Chain A
Amino acid sequence: MLRMEAVTKIYDGRGRTVAGLRSVTLDISKDDFLCVVGPSGCGKSTLLLILGGMLSPTEGRVLLDGQSLYALSPDKRANLRREKIGFLFQTFNLVPYLSALENVQIPLVLAGLNGPCQKERAAALLQQVGLADRLHHKPSELSVGQQQRVALARMLANNPEIILADEPTGNLDPDTGEQIVALLEEINKEGRTVVMVTHDPRFAVRAKKTVRLRTGSVVPEESKPAEPSKHCCPH
Chain B
Amino acid sequence: MHLRTIVWRELFERKNQLATSFLAILVGIAAIVSIKNVTFYSEKAVAKELDALGANILILPKSASLQGYYSADLQDEEFPEEYVTRLSSSDLQGLDNLSPKLSVPTEIEGKRFTLTGILPKSEFQAKAAWQGAGIFSRPQGCGTVVVDTTCNPPPVQETLVRRRVIETLGSTEALVGADVATTLGLNEGQTIKLLGKPFNIIAVLPQTGTIDDSRIFVHLHRLQELTGKGSVLNAIEIVGCCNQISKGLVQKINKLLPDAKVVTITQVVDTQIKTNRMMSRLSLIFLAIIVLVGGASIANYMYANVFERRREIGTLMALGAGTSFILRMFLLKALLLGLAGGLGGYALGTVLAVTLGPRLAGIPVLPMWSLLAWGTGLSLAIALAASYFPARRAAHLDPSAVLQEV
Q: Which residues of chain A have a CB within 8 Å of any CB of chain B? A: 45, 49, 52, 54-55, 74-75, 78-79, 81-83, 87, 89, 93, 95-98, 102, 105-111, 115, 118-119, 154, 158
Whether A52 lies near B318 (C-beta < 8 A) is yes
Within 8 A of A (CB), among B20-46: none
Residues in A neighbouring B10, C-beta threshold 8 A? 97
Whether B325 lies near A110 (C-beta < 8 A) is yes
Within 8 A of A (CB), among B242-270: none
Residues in B neighbouring A74, C-beta threshold 8 A? 322-323
* Interface of A (DSSP majority class): helix
Q: Which residue of A lies closest to B325 (CB)?
A: A110
Contacts A78-B321, A87-B315 known; 18 new A-B pairs at CB < 8 A: A54-B318, A54-B400, A55-B398, A74-B322, A78-B323, A79-B320, A89-B315, A93-B314, A95-B6, A97-B12, A107-B319, A107-B320, A109-B1, A109-B3, A110-B321, A115-B2, A119-B1, A158-B320
Q: How far, in whole Å, are A158 and B320 apart by their CA atoms in the complex?
A: 10
Residues in B neighbouring A111, C-beta threshold 8 A? 320
Q: Number of B residues contacting the other chain (C-beta, 8 Å)?
A: 28
B183 within 8 A of A: no
Q: Which residues of chain B have a CB within 8 Å of any CB of chain A? A: 1-3, 5-6, 9-10, 12-13, 311-312, 314-325, 398-400, 403-404
Whether A102 lies near B5 (C-beta < 8 A) is yes
Q: Which of B5, B323, B325, B399 contacts A54 (CB 8 A)?
A: B399
Residue from B1, B2, B321, B324 having most chain A Cβ neighbours under 10 A: B1
Whether A89 lies near B323 (C-beta < 8 A) is no
Whether A45 lies near B404 (C-beta < 8 A) is yes
Q: How far, in whole Å, are A230 and B2 apart by their CA atoms in the complex?
A: 49
Q: Which residue of B lies closest to A80 (CB)?
A: B320
Nearest CB on A from B59, distance (A): 70
Q: Which residue of A lies closest to B14 (CB)?
A: A97
Whether A110 lies near B319 (C-beta < 8 A) is yes
Nearest CB on A from B306, distance (A): 15
Whether A95 lies near B315 (C-beta < 8 A) is yes
Whether A75 lies near B312 (C-beta < 8 A) is no
Whether A106 lies near B5 (C-beta < 8 A) is no
Whether B2 lies near A49 (C-beta < 8 A) is no
Nearest CB on B from A21, distance (A): 13
Q: Which residue of A lies closest to B323 (CB)?
A: A75
Q: Give 7 pairs: A residue, B residue, CB < 8 Å, sorted on A.
A: A49-B404, A54-B399, A75-B322, A98-B9, A102-B1, A108-B1, A109-B1
Nearest CB on B from A139, distance (A): 12
Whether B316 lies near A89 (C-beta < 8 A) is no
Nearest CB on B from A173, distance (A): 20
Whether A81 lies near B319 (C-beta < 8 A) is yes
Whether A81 lies near B1 (C-beta < 8 A) is no
Q: How far, in whole Å, are A143 and B20 apart by their CA atoms in the complex?
A: 33
Give the 4 A-B residue pairs with the shortest CB-CB distance, closest first: A82-B320, A55-B400, A93-B315, A75-B322
Whether A87 lies near B319 (C-beta < 8 A) is yes
Residues in A neighbouring B12, C-beta threshold 8 A? 97
Q: Which residue of B lies closest to A122 (CB)?
A: B1
Q: How far, in whole Å, are A97 and B1 apart by their CA atoms in the complex?
A: 14
Residues in B neighbouring A119, C-beta threshold 8 A? 1
Q: How far, in whole Å, are A107 and B404 apart by their CA atoms in the complex?
A: 21
Whether A89 lies near B1 (C-beta < 8 A) is no
Q: How far, in whole Å, are A98 and B317 apart by their CA atoms in the complex?
A: 17
Q: How far, in whole Å, are A159 and B314 apart by their CA atoms in the complex?
A: 20
Whether A81 lies near B400 (C-beta < 8 A) is no
Residues in A neighbouring B3, C-beta threshold 8 A? 109
Whether B5 lies near A95 (C-beta < 8 A) is no
Residues in B neighbouring A79, C-beta threshold 8 A? 320, 322
Residues in B neighbouring A83, C-beta threshold 8 A? 320
Q: How far, in whole Å, are A146 and B328 apart by their CA atoms in the complex?
A: 31
Q: Which of B319, B324, B400, B403 contacts A106 (CB 8 A)?
A: B319
Nearest CB on B from A152, distance (A): 13
Q: How far, in whole Å, are A74 and B398 apart by their CA atoms in the complex?
A: 10
Q: How far, in whole Å, are A97 and B312 apart by their CA atoms in the complex?
A: 11
Whether B320 lies near A98 (C-beta < 8 A) is no
A95-B312, A97-B9, A105-B1 in contact; A75/B324 too (CB < 8 A)?
A: yes
Q: Which residue of B lies closest to A106 (CB)?
A: B319
Q: How far, in whole Å, are A87 and B400 apart by their CA atoms in the complex?
A: 12
Q: Which residue of B lies closest to A105 (CB)?
A: B1
Residues in B neighbouring A55, C-beta threshold 8 A? 398, 400
Residue from B2, B312, B320 having most chain A Cβ neighbours under 10 A: B320
Whether A87 lies near B318 (C-beta < 8 A) is yes
Whether B320 lies near A110 (C-beta < 8 A) is yes
Q: How far, in whole Å, are A115 and B3 apart by their CA atoms in the complex?
A: 11
Whether B318 lies near A81 (C-beta < 8 A) is yes
Residues in B neighbouring A82, C-beta threshold 8 A? 319-321
Q: How far, in whole Å, are A134 and B344 apart by their CA atoms in the complex?
A: 38
Residues in A neighbouring B400, C-beta threshold 8 A? 49, 54-55
Residues in B neighbouring A95, C-beta threshold 8 A? 6, 312, 315
Residues in B neighbouring A96, C-beta threshold 8 A? 13, 312
Q: How far, in whole Å, are A74 and B10 apart by their CA atoms in the complex?
A: 26
Q: How far, in whole Å, are A107 and B6 apart by their CA atoms in the complex?
A: 12
